[in-house]
Structure 1
Amino acid sequence: MNPAPRTVVSPPRQVVRAVLTEALESKMGGEVVVKSATVSGRIFVVEHKVAWTVLTGPGARSFSTALIDAKLVSREDVEQVMAECRKSGGNFCETLVSWGLVPRDTLRDLLCHHVRAQLDTLFGLTEAQALFVPQPRSYSSQLTFELAELTADTMQPQPAVTQSQSPSGPPVLLEGEVMANVKQALEEAMKIEGAFAVCLADANSGMTLGSVGGNATFNVEAAAAGNTEVMRAKLKTMKALGIKDRIEDMLITLGEQYHIIRPLAAREGLFLYIALHRANSNLAMARFRMADVEKTIQL
Structure 2
Amino acid sequence: MNPAPRNVVSQPRQVVRAVLNEALESKLGGEVVVKSTTVSGRIFVVERKVAWTVLTGPGARSFSTALIDAKLVSREDVEQVMAECRKSGGNFCETLVAWGLVPRDTLRDLLCHHVTAQLETLFGLTEAQALFVPQPRSYSSQLTFDLAELTADTPQPAVPQSQSPSGPPVLLEGEAMANVKQALEEAMKIEGAFAVCLADANSGMTLGSVGGNAAFNVEAAAAGNTEVMRAKLKTMKALGIKDRIEDMLITLGEQYHIIRPLSAREGLFLYIALHRANANLAMARFRMADVEKNIQL
Report the TM-score, using the length of structure 1 for normalisation.
0.68
| Distance verdict in 2 for CA 1:252–1:96, change over 3 Å | same
Offset at residue 133 of structure 1 (A): 2.3
SS at match of 1:272: strand
SS at match of 1:237: helix
1:82-107 Cα deviation digits (max 9, x unpaired): 12112222111000000001111111
Note if 1:238 corresponds to 2:254.
Answer: no
CA distance in 1, matches of 2:207, 2:6: 43
1:104-123 Cα deviation digits (max 9, x unpaired): 11111110111111111111
1:208-229 Cα deviation digits (max 9, x unpaired): 6545699999998899688666
| Distance verdict in 2 for CA 1:170–1:255, change over 3 Å | farther
CA distance in 2, matches of 1:224, 1:7: 17
Q: 2:202 aligns with which of 201, 204, 209?
A: 204
Offset at residue 257 of structure 1 (A): 12
| Distance verdict in 2 for CA 1:113–1:166, change over 3 Å | closer
Q: 2:158 aligns with which of 145, 152, 160?
A: 160
1:213-249 Cα deviation digits (max 9, x unpaired): 9999999889968866653542453465576886565
Which residue does 2:86 correspond to in 1? Answer: 86
**Structure 1 regions of 5+ residues with no counterpart?**
none
Whether contact under 8 Å (1:165, 1:171) holds in the other structure is no
Moved more, 117-126 or 279-288: 279-288
Which residue does 1:273 correspond to in 2? Answer: 271
Whether contact under 8 Å (2:198, 2:268) holds in the other structure is yes
Report the TM-score, using the length of structure 2 for normalisation.
0.68
**Structure 2 regions of 5+ residues with no counterpart?**
none
Moved more, 288-297 or 182-191: 288-297
Whether contact under 8 Å (2:70, 2:165) holds in the other structure is no
1:153-200 Cα deviation digits (max 9, x unpaired): 24xx54899999999999963576554333344467789999998643
Whether contact under 8 Å (2:116, 2:150) holds in the other structure is yes
Whether contact under 8 Å (1:196, 1:214) holds in the other structure is yes
Q: 1:192 aligns with which of 190, 193, 200?
A: 190
Moved more, 25-34 or 112-121: 25-34
CA distance in 2, matches of 1:295, 1:168: 35
Which residue does 1:282 correspond to in 2? Answer: 280
| Distance verdict in 2 for CA 1:74–1:280, change over 3 Å | farther
